[in-house]
């Protein structure tokens, strides 16, 4: 019964937040993607990004201190796991972007590809889940398309806001869900508008 309730809560959080996601082309033209079969993706997690109501560094410092008070050494382990989660975020985004764009082969940081998509996270809401109370994770992204060998040549740029993940007890899974959702939304957008 508990599992059924948790699945229902997760389903409601996805339904309630999927429509809130927005994708907007800020500059340039994405029509070049029509003839592109493959694209490299590079992820950027800047130190000045916001993490909830704090800066990224403030969030990390608070969590490390909180964990250390409970058990010595657990703060540094949490910090190591926190940064390691980025690999999971990247994989989720790439997987769903490729899946929903249908015709675009996506790989991380492949310098052999002519074009590169730079995915910069500007905001992360880590969310929470305590019993029946939960808040979904969400991310804001700035996405730029460049020629791999001419990185100063920004062909197009876009923003995605409020890409959300489902409720989950593990914060890494919540945020990974937001990246998965973000990749899916972008893939659908590209397929519909320029592939």
pTM: 0.86
126/3: higher pLDDT: 126
State the average pLDDT over residues 166-174: 86
Total Cβ atoms within 10 A of residue 117: 23
Q: Which domains does the chain have, with CATH numbers?
A: 2-55+84-193 (3.30.160)
Q: What is the pLDDT of residue 20?
A: 60
Provide the mean pLDDT of the chain. Answer: 88
Q: Is 115 exposed, middle or buried (0-12, 13-18, 19+ CB in 10 A)?
A: middle
Residues contacting residue 143 through CB under 8 Å, at least 6 positions apart: 117, 118, 119, 120, 157, 158, 159, 160, 186
Q: What is the pLDDT of residue 60?
A: 94
Q: What is the pLDDT of residue 131?
A: 75
* Lowest mean pLDDT, pick from 31-40, 110-119, 125-134, 178-187: 125-134
State the average pLDDT over residues 96-107: 94
């Amino acid at each position: 019964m508990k599992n059924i309730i948790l699945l229902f809560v997760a389903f409601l959080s996805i339904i309630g937040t999927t429509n809130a996601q927005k994708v907007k082309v800020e500059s340039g033209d994405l029509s070049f993607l029509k003839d592109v079969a493959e694209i490299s993706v590079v992820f950027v997690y800047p130190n000045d990004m916001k993490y909830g109501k704090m800066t990224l560094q403030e969030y990390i410092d608070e969590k490390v201190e909180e964990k250390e008070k409970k058990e010595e050494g657990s703060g540094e382990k949490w910090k190591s796991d926190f940064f390691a989660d980025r690999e999971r975020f990247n994989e989720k985004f790439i997987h769903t972007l490729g899946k929903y764009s249908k015709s675009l082969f996506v790989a991380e940081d492949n310098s052999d590809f002519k074009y590169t998509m730079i995915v910069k996270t500007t905001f992360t809401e880590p969310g929470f889940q305590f019993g029946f109370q939960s808040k979904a994770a969400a991310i804001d992204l700035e996405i730029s398309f460049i020629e791999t060998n001419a990185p100063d040549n920004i062909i197009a740029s876009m923003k995605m806001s409020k890409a959300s993940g489902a409720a989950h007890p593990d914060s890494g899974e919540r945020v990974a869900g937001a990246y998965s959702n973000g990749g899916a939304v972008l893939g659908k957008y590209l397929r519909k508008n320029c592939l």
